[in-house]
Amino acid sequence: MKMSYTRVVGLFLLACSALVSCKKEKGGLPPVTEKHRTVIEYMVADNNLYSYAVEDINEMESAWSTTYDGHMVVFLYPVSSTSIYVPSDQREGYDDRPRLLLIDRDADESRINSRVLKYYDRAIDPCDPTVMSQVLADAMTLAPAENYALIYWSHGSGWLPDGTYQSLKSTLPAVGDAAWAGSKLEGMVPENPQGVTSYSFGVSNSNGGSEMEIDAMAAALPTGTVFDFILFDACHMACVELAWELKNHTDYLIASAAETLADGFPYKTMMELMYTPQVDAAAIGRDFYDYYNVQSGAWRSATVGVVRSDKLPALADAVKALCDAGLPAEGISYAGQQFGRRSMLFQDTFYDLADFVHRTWGESDPLVTAFDAALSEAVVYAAATPMLFNDLTVKTHCGLSCYLPRTTTPLSLEAYRTRFGWSTASGMGALVP
């Protein structure tokens, strides 16, 4: 029986190796030496955000310093050579092979010049958790360090399961719509002939618009590694359901409860903060907020929450105490702050966690006071601009969004109850029949 099990495992590993076939860069380059921290960025740019991925990598190169005691490794899955998103000035000689880059200092922001550690077969699906797991293993082997941090870069829709909500692929406003005024997202509209975009993490157009679901992502993260931080350079990922799934894999979660501008995190100013001996996750979140808060028009749009993972169990206990005590006669309040824009058909999806608690149970309940204390321990930094995209007013923001159970959305409710641990740990899954 033992021999049979070994063979099965061996065949499985062989299959995984074949799935994620790769080619090492030739040329006898020296091995990468071990450093204090390697930051791994997983970029699924096989979509309308590709040009922004190139810009961000160029920002990393221009901001890189050899004084950092670390490495920056970027897995880039680009658009295919036939994609409409390949810039016209790059079509000649365009290379659509997925690759693992070791960021080097380079002041030329017109092209990516970093060393390629490994090429991957174009046929892989970057939203397959098995592929992601192999890429992370490659990065940790080829750019070794004492500690690791992880950045996910792509579209995002929080915890929502693949295809659960039709609004994950929502109709975009017209090119001249005021919703785009001043937004760097504006350039994406005329390039998309279907007039739609996806907000679920890791949209890969070459793989049928595939997405990676959060519970599968968490299960595929390396066993025995706790990242210094996991940062999502993507929309709607600062949700408590996601934070709970990742709590055993990272010390801190850094993400936005709302939609983010396509420019994303400001790597030029953020790079140095990622390589301090002791990570100051709040400083990274503050840098993101400060960058956008001084902008004007729709570009002054940002929310950010920095969550300390080891404090999440106490937060869940505080919410469960409220749920176990029972709802007031009025039931769940759905009238609170939301972070999904109605103009993008994303309403009734991401509610502010603290606003939900206060509106539902009031201000005077001692259990609410206990919740506030637990929240202040779990969220070490939170900030939001007064408006988002000149469209959505932010009256309150605690740093974490949450799903509010509804019997009118049975698919989401079932997934919430059966696949996401926060539902049971907090008791929120039992708030409706």
- Domain with residue 242: its CATH number is 3.40.50.11970
Question: Which helix H or strand E contains 418, and what residues bound it?
Answer: helix 410-419
- Separation in Å, CA 432 to CA 317, 332, 343, 391, 404: 19, 9, 28, 31, 10
Q: Which of 299, 354, 277 is nearest to 69 (CA)?
A: 277
**Whether residues 324 and 181 fall in one domain:** no
In the chain, the amino acid numbered 426 is S
**Whether residues 301 and 328 fall in one domain:** no
* 365: in domain: yes
**Whether residues 91 and 192 fall in one domain:** yes
Other C-beta atoms closer than 10 Å to the C-beta of 193 total 7
Instruction: Give this prediction's pTM.
Output: 0.85
**Whether residues 372 and 416 fall in one domain:** yes
- Separation in Å, CA 9 to CA 3, 12, 218, 220, 379: 10, 5, 21, 16, 41
Widest Cα–Cα separation across the chain: 72
**Whether residues 57 and 72 fall in one domain:** yes
**Whether residues 299 and 408 fall in one domain:** no
* 18: in domain: no
Cα-Cα end-to-end distance for the chain = 45
**Whether residues 282 and 332 fall in one domain:** no
- In sequence order, the 6+-apart residues with CB closer than 8 A to the CB of 319 are 357, 371, 426, 427, 428
**Whether residues 364 and 281 fall in one domain:** no
In the chain, the amino acid numbered 244 is W
Q: What is residue 402's three-state secondary structure?
A: strand
**Whether residues 209 and 303 fall in one domain:** yes
* 16: in domain: no
* 383: in domain: no
Token match 């990274």: residue? 284
Domain closes at, from 309, 332, 365: 309
Q: How much is the pLDDT for 344?
A: 63
**Whether residues 286 and 334 fall in one domain:** no
d(CA 194, CA 172): 9
Q: Which tokens hold the place of 400? A: 């974490």
Query: Does residue 34 contact residue 67 with C-beta atoms inside 8 Å?
Result: no
* 2: in domain: no
The total number of structural domains in the chain stands at 2
* 8: in domain: no
d(CA 245, CA 194): 34
**Whether residues 361 and 219 fall in one domain:** no
Query: Does residue 403 contact residue 351 with C-beta atoms inside 8 Å?
Result: yes
- Domain of residue 374: give its range: 311-378+395-430
- Separation in Å, CA 334 to CA 240, 256, 358, 402, 404: 17, 21, 11, 11, 8
* DSSP assignment string, 36-95: EEEEEEEEE-SSTTHHHHHHHHHHHHHH--TTSSEEEEEEEE---TT-TTS-GGG-TT--
Domain closes at, from 275, 309, 343: 309
* 268: in domain: yes
Tens digit of pLDDT at every position of the chain (433 positions): 333 333 333 333 334 444 444 443 444 577 889 999 999 999 998 888 898 999 999 999 999 999 999 999 999 999 999 999 998 888 888 999 999 999 999 988 888 999 999 999 999 999 999 999 999 999 999 999 999 999 999 877 665 555 443 333 233 344 455 554 433 333 333 333 322 223 356 667 788 777 888 888 999 999 999 999 999 998 889 999 999 999 999 999 999 999 888 889 999 999 999 999 999 999 999 999 999 999 988 889 999 999 999 999 999 999 999 999 999 999 999 999 999 877 666 677 899 999 999 999 999 999 999 999 999 999 999 999 999 988 889 999 999 999 999 888 787 788 888 888 999 999 999 999 8
d(CA 218, CA 129): 9
Question: Which helix H or strand E contains 319, and what residues bound it?
Answer: helix 312-325
Domain closes at, from 309, 339, 370: 309
* 297: in domain: yes
**Whether residues 324 and 305 fall in one domain:** no
- The residues pairing with 115 across neighbouring beta strands, listed in sequence order, are 102
Query: Does residue 356 contact residue 333 with C-beta atoms inside 8 Å?
Result: yes
Query: Does residue 136 contact residue 38 with C-beta atoms inside 8 Å?
Result: no
